[in-house]
Copies of this chain bind each other. A is one copy, B any other.
Amino acid sequence: MRASRFFISTLKEAPADAEIVSHQLMMRAGMIKRLGSGIYTYMPMGLRVIRKVEAIVREEMNAAAAIELLMPLVQPAELWQETGRWDKMGPELMRVKDRHGRDFAIQPTSEEVITDVVRSEIKSYRQLPLNFYHIQTKFRDERRPRFGLMRGREFTMKDAYSFDRDLAGMQASYKVMYDAYTRIFNRFGLKFRAVAADNGAIGGTGSHEFHVIASTGEDALVYCPTSDYAANMEAAEALPLAAARPAATEALVKASTPNATKCEQVAELLGLPLSRTVKTIALTVDHEQDGKVTRQYFMLLLRGDHELNEVKVGKVPGLAAHRFSTEAEILEVYGCVPGYLGPIGTKAPVTVVADRTVANMADFVCGANDAGFHYTGANWGRDALEPALVADLRNVVEGDASPDGKGVLAIERGIEVGHVFQLGTAYSESMKATFLDENGKPAPLQMGCYGIGITRILGAAIEQNFDDKGIIWPTALAPFELVLCPMGMDRSELVKAETEQLYAQAQAAGIDVIVDDRGLRPGAMFADWELIGVPHRVVIGERGLKEGNLEYQGRRDTEATAVPLADIIPFIKGKLAA
């Protein structure tokens, strides 16, 4: 490519609404252009990166025997009604009526359509397994679009869907996709981590998220450096901090703790470590039957320094549809204002649910169910009834024991860019997508789904790879692998001739090269390419040429290296292969 025939548009300053570095740098490098909130035009420079991402994804999907098709963007509401998602999904599902008043969804994902395709195409177990994928524009009407391509409304996604005859087959298909994703992210040249994830409301039997590691990532990734355990925060299991409950050593004392409704305040007031305190969270579950609502009350107990994990709470038996109790409910049920609740004296109809760590605590501090008072030296059995339920309710923290028993947990930040999901038969059952098994009996298809956020990869790659000059693309994703920067091409016939020859040689060697023939001053030219993040740069200058040399500088290098003219192509090829 010649820069004079391409479109390069860089900015000194990022627009004010670009909050994070990848958004700022993509705007400054002219990769994207804002059309509306969360809606971007992919400019020529950005589109080249997207195409490189797509090509790698496509190659690995094909190699994994997934078959490409293309499903429509505008999808009839009827299919979404069959699975119930037309009602279940909130305003993030964009809905539109056609000229005849019929309802359609602008697709955020295509489970319904692929299941509809497959239910009419698959008749027999002999046709299985099958895996279909497409790379398509999607729309999700985010409440608060931001961060450029990281949380846009219109975006590009690869979604694949596998169909199997049984659970074992589906899990094998899942493994094939998991491995393909691992190859894909390795080929991108990004540091990433696959973590076990919660299956969420959709059910199913397992899922993993693929995260690009970046200190700015929104998600906390939990892993064990000495084993292969890895999970996201929602799914990472917290073991009890003590294996067994110690014996009581203190007497129960009711302490005055006026205006101390938080554990931090109580610990400070009493001069005790926060880890000796227990906090109480009051939940309500509403049951409606025949128009009459009955309520169930739960008291959750966590160690004062721990964080509640809402996903885990939802998995406690009876708590799938919980909410926080209102102040009025608390007053009525506990006879006490919030901030002073505790398990001592708490009994039916309240169900006490203790976190695993709390269940093994002794001599702890808790609310006295009396405004302005806490107990110290509280103990299970002696002072409070044994908790009705013991469960994992909290987020893990660094240093917790790994659930696999092979070390302690570490936490890092990541950006979710892929998700593989064992769907099971949720969609095939609601949409009656069956096949005839070996005995000629209809059975629901076992499904998996597999997504990669194509455009999000760009943002994540930048969050991981940038410096104060701009983007540092991994070679596999860079809009160009190599930029040739001639110095004074218009003044020096020698520079011009050598540049043209080198350009031709690089192209012949299969290098994705751009020659900057715009005639800019060196400073402006270098600043552009450092901002855009092309990984390899060769400067062609008259002085160097007279000595038979060119100047090579890698994007992460602090200074240039002189390379003999005759060696430059093999030298670059070596760098690209590294």
Contact = CB atoms under 8 A, between A and B. Distances in A.
Interface of A: 5-7, 9, 33, 35-36, 39-44, 47, 50, 65, 67-76, 91-92, 94-96, 98-99, 104, 106, 113, 116-117, 120-121, 130, 132, 136-137, 139, 141, 143, 153-154
A132 B47 CA distance: 12
A113 to B, nearest CB: 6
Given A96-B96, A132-B7, A42 B65 contact: no
Given A106-B106, A121-B9, A141 B98 contact: yes
Contacts of A36: 72, 74-76, 104
B33 A117 contact: yes
A72 B35 contact: yes
B69 A43 contact: yes
A98 to B, nearest CB: 5
B50 A70 contact: yes
A141 B97 CA distance: 10
Contacts of A92: 99
B117 A41 contact: yes
Nearest to A36: B76
B69 A47 contact: yes
A390 B337 CA distance: 94
Given A33-B120, A36-B74, 14 more contacts: A7-B69, A7-B130, A35-B71, A39-B72, A42-B70, A44-B132, A47-B69, A73-B137, A74-B106, A74-B139, A74-B153, A94-B96, A96-B96, A137-B137
A120 B34 CA distance: 11
The 9 closest A-B pairs by CB, nearest first: A91-B99, A96-B96, A42-B70, A36-B76, A39-B72, A44-B67, A99-B141, A41-B71, A72-B154
Contacts of A76: 35-36, 39
Contacts of A9: 121
Oligomer: number of copies:
2
A40 B96 contact: no
A130 B117 CA distance: 42
A33 B98 CA distance: 20
A113 B69 contact: no
A433 B409 CA distance: 57
Contacts of A35: 71-72, 75-76, 113, 116
B96 A70 contact: no
Question: Considering residues A91, A98, A121, which has the most beta carbons from chain B within 10 angstroms of its beta carbon?
Answer: A98
Contacts of A141: 98-99
A92 B136 CA distance: 23
A94 B139 CA distance: 15
A113 B69 CA distance: 28
A409 B363 CA distance: 104
A115 to B, nearest CB: 12
Contacts of A73: 73, 137, 139, 154
Contacts of A130: 7
A47 B68 contact: yes
Contact of A47 (B44, B70, B98, B153): B70
